[in-house]
Chain A
Amino acid sequence: MQYKVPVVSELVAEGKTPDVIFWIGCAGSFDQRAQRVTIAFTKILNQLNINFAVLGTEEACTGDPARRAGNEFVFQMLAQQNIATLNGYGIKKIITTCPHCFNTIKNEYPALGGLYEVVHHSTYLQQLINDGQLKVEGGTFKGKRITYHDSCYLGRANEIYEAPRAVIEALDADLVEINKSKKNGLCCGAGGAQMFKEDEPGNKRINVERTEQLTEVYPDVIAVACPFCNTMITDGVKGENKQDDIKVLDIAEMVAQANNY
């Protein structure tokens, strides 16, 4: 299959409108590890003939790290620019693979006039599986021990705990819960703009602490649903020298791999 990435401005010029926007996010666009997740999810959208499009060069950071660091001016500039773009194209529905983008667009853009149906890819994949649109065979993941790391911005922030787990279970995998999961999950250490600076003085890195909790159950795969968690936990697993035994994968990558997309 020849995979395509339609860009909104081009579609509109042709007089077409997409059903949904795939909001890629900065990590998904520029981070090498996260790009692989973007590619996996794009393949799924293509395979299912979803009428989607991306903003391409018109997409800007949602402003999440700026607002959380305390820089409201930068947040407002980015948010208002994005809302102008989205409203200009009359966008109604947005899917994203980043919980931070998801949270900001869903919860914080309405106050600025940006009202959209915003869906995180975990929920979207779960819906597609439930509808029977997306068929998943266990493939390489059948019977594998998989533990899921909750992203704060998906979990506590928006109470999405079951969707990513439902996707993993659809892969016939053996989902193992660690002690500190769901509401009690520990942060990977990246949120609140921590991703972009050194840790404050302390005795341990948060991602190291979290990775220890995750590797305690001897998983074959640590599943994630956030590009920043992905980076942090991947680093943690490398720190433990376990990268050959334990893979850190986004649920979109797992679905794409299982289906040989």
Chain B
Amino acid sequence: MLFLKIFQILLFIGLVGGTFYFAFKKFKEIYDNIMMGQAEKINSTLGFRIKSMLLIAFGQKKMFKLTFAALLHLVIYVSFCITQIELLEIFIDGLTGSHRIIYHAVENIPFLHTLYLVVINFIEILSLLTFFVTIIFILRRTTFKVERFQKPELKGWPWKDALLILAFELTLITFIFLMNGADSALHIKEHGEGYGFFLSSAIGGMLQSLPSGLLQALERIGWWGHLCMVMGFILYLPYSKHLHILLAFPNTFFTRPEPKGEIHNMPAIQHEVQSMIDPSFVVPASDGEVKFGAKDVYDLSWKNLLDAYTCTECGRCTAACPANQTGKKLSPRKIMMDTRDRMEEIAACKKEHGPEFVDNKSLLGDYITGEELRACTTCNACVEECPVNISPLSIIIELRRNLIMEASDSPAEWNNIFANLENNQAPWQFSPNDRLNWTEELN
């Protein structure tokens, strides 16, 4: 028995240590990918940042624009958070070879004992609810075909990713109840009653006719199965849209405080134009090379890239987009997914061919087309909708800038308004001298 115990402790340390090693490597890679973006200063106070994070990420405020989806999501979210308490006990048990160490530690302290029972019961009830919610989530994608989950950008891997994680959840919960059910059955056999966990005691009652050896084996399968799912989840997270469970917090923390209507200034072009108007103006050396918007992910800001990794592909942006609603190619969700995919592609390329390697692809052109970008009305519906304060519009504008100023890829009508604006300071072909013609009809 002692051998088995030591073997299990070593296996636990190996499994957890290995998981954290590989997960850390991948998370570091994501951090490096985000940092390949341009510098951007977020002009907000610490108070604003904390408030945004608490309200939007922690408090899920914007999720509740869709009440039903928000309530379903809330069950999983609360369940996920509170389950960490039981996971703590599992970790201590795994490291020390103990069994339900917290339970035994508080068994004879009435207040803490009750608290422990309340917490575990709460976890079990939430886990059961999560089980059903997960099934509803699967049905929403596969059977009820909620429209925003049927868009072309979800075909292939994103579709599998979503269903895979839901299947993960079902398996994980099954292992929890197998673990606690078999454990409760053993406890009933020994003490005549369960631990005091309603749900698993009920399962234990059904299982108690099984032989003790089999129940011990089932408890171990449940315990290790649960642990493996948790470790698998940690490893899988950085490859999946489910990264939002972590990145929603920094992403809302770094919410841009400006009014949504404000498009950020380009000081280098400002200075260049200033020097044309006023020849005595000296362009500051700090401007460096003038950039014409973004052609690839390197040209975007780190906040745009963090946005992309935070996106969980819920598609509320796309459902609210006027262009998408009227059949245009633009989908704000696709903009975020493309940005993320392009970062991953670059990282994979550099891993294979060395850090200096540059492929001949780019975000603009190979992933996102001019047609998509030109369909945007800059209405901010996508920005307003996003439950974690992502701005697809910010990326769209940067790419449009490149399309117009670098690639000179502009529809003829826009070239006309640019010419009119330059020549007569109005988008139409009217002379500035006619600006007050309307006054003729005033009296």
Q: Which residues of A contact B (CB under 8 A)?
A: 2-3, 5, 7, 24, 26, 28-30, 35, 38-39, 42-43, 54, 56-57, 59-61, 63, 65-74, 76-78, 80-81, 84, 103, 107-108, 111-112, 152-153, 156-159, 183-184, 186-187, 189-206, 208-210
Number of interface residues of B (CB under 8 A): 69
CB-CB < 8 A to B421: which residues of A?
61, 63, 65-66, 74, 78
CB-CB < 8 A to B258: which residues of A?
107
* Contacting residue for B417 out of A3, A56, A70, A196, CB 8 A: A196
In residues 300-324 of chain B, which contact A (Cβ within 8 Å)? 320, 322-323
CB-CB < 8 A to A78: which residues of B?
421, 425
Q: How far is it, in angstroms, between the C-alpha of A183 and the C-alpha of B428 when the chains are bound?
A: 31
A114 CB to closest chain B CB, in angstroms?
12
Is the Cβ of A70 less than 8 Å from the Cβ of B403? yes
Q: How far is it, in angstroms, between the C-alpha of A125 and the C-alpha of B375 when the chains are bound?
A: 34
15 CB < 8 A contacts A-B: A5-B436, A29-B436, A29-B437, A65-B421, A66-B417, A67-B263, A68-B378, A70-B402, A72-B269, A80-B274, A112-B265, A184-B384, A190-B377, A192-B378, A206-B326
Is the Cβ of B435 less than 8 Å from the Cβ of A24? yes
CB-CB < 8 A to B433: which residues of A?
57
Q: Tell me which of B261, B263, B397 has the highest count of chain A C-beta atoms within 10 A of its own C-beta.
A: B261
Which of B210-218, B327-335, B342-350 is near enough to bind chain A? Answer: B327-335
Q: Which residues of B contact A (CB under 8 A)?
A: 65, 258-263, 265-266, 269-270, 272-274, 277, 292-293, 320, 322-323, 325-330, 371, 374-381, 383-384, 397, 400-405, 410-411, 413-414, 416-418, 421-422, 425-428, 430, 432-439, 441-443
Is the Cβ of B326 less than 8 Å from the Cβ of A187? no
Is the Cβ of B270 less than 8 Å from the Cβ of A157? no
- Report if A30-B397 is in contact (Cβ < 8 Å); known contacts: A196-B413, A206-B326: no
Q: How far is it, in angstroms, between the C-alpha of A100 and the C-alpha of B416 when the chains are bound?
A: 20
Is the Cβ of B379 less than 8 Å from the Cβ of A54? no
- Report if A206-B327 is in contact (Cβ < 8 Å); known contacts: A152-B377, A196-B417, A198-B413: no
CB-CB < 8 A to B293: which residues of A?
70, 72
CB-CB < 8 A to B402: which residues of A?
70
CB-CB < 8 A to B414: which residues of A?
69, 71, 193, 196-197
Q: How far is it, in angstroms, between the C-alpha of A27 and the C-alpha of B328 when the chains are bound?
A: 27
CB-CB < 8 A to B384: which residues of A?
156, 183-184
